[in-house]
Amino acid sequence: MKAVIGLGNPDLKYKFTRHNTGFLVLDEILKARKVALCDKFDSFFGKQGDLLYLLPKTYMNLSGNAVIQLMNFYKLTNKDILVIYDDATIEFGTFRLKKNGSFGGHNGIKSIINRLGTDVFDRLKVGVGPVSENMQIDSFVLGNFSASELENIRQMGKIAIQVVDCWLKEGIESAQNKYNKKVI
C-alpha cells in the first residue's frame, strides 16, 4: 500500500490560501479518481485499491499526528508516502519532488519529520512563490490565491495525477526526472 497526503488547514477561512495548496492539489486528484472521503485518522481519508489518501484535519502544525496514525494502522513505512504541500520559496507553477531534506520552515513537514523520526520520505513541493520583499512569509502563505492563480492550482492538480501515477509505477527518481520543472 501507498499513501498520498495533502497538507493544509481544515477551516473554510483557509480553503483558498497558499498554505492549503496540498489540500487543493489533492482535491483535484480525488475528484478525477472519484474517491469518496470519510473521517478517519483525524483526517479526511479515502482508499482506492492499494492507494490511500489523507487530508489531515489536525491543522498544519500537527500534520504528523494524523500521518503517523495512518502509517501505524496500515503498517506503512516512510518510503510508502508522498506528501504534497506548498513551498513559498519556489516559483509559482513549479513542482519539486524530493526524497528527503529538512523542513525548510514548513511546519507541516516539521511535524511529520518529528513524528516519523526521519526526514526521509517522498515529497511533492508545489511552488506558490515568490514572497514579495515587503511581506512576511506567514501573511503570504495565509493569503488567498487570486482567481487566476486558483485556476492554475487546479490545473497543477490535474498534472499531479500524472506525477502520482509515475511515483507509484516508476518511483521517485523517475518522477523527479519528468516533473521537477515549471508545469504552469
- Write the single-letter amino acid at 107: N
Q: Which residues pair with 123 in a beta bridge?
A: 83, 98
- Catalytic site residue 19? yes
Q: Is there a contact between 153 and 25 (Cβ–Cβ < 8 Å)?
A: yes
DSSP-derived letter for residue 119 is S
Catalytic residue among 7, 8, 19, 97: 19
Calpha distance 164→150 (Å, rounded): 21
* Element at 6 (helix H, strand E): strand 2-6
**So which residues are the catalytic ones?**
19
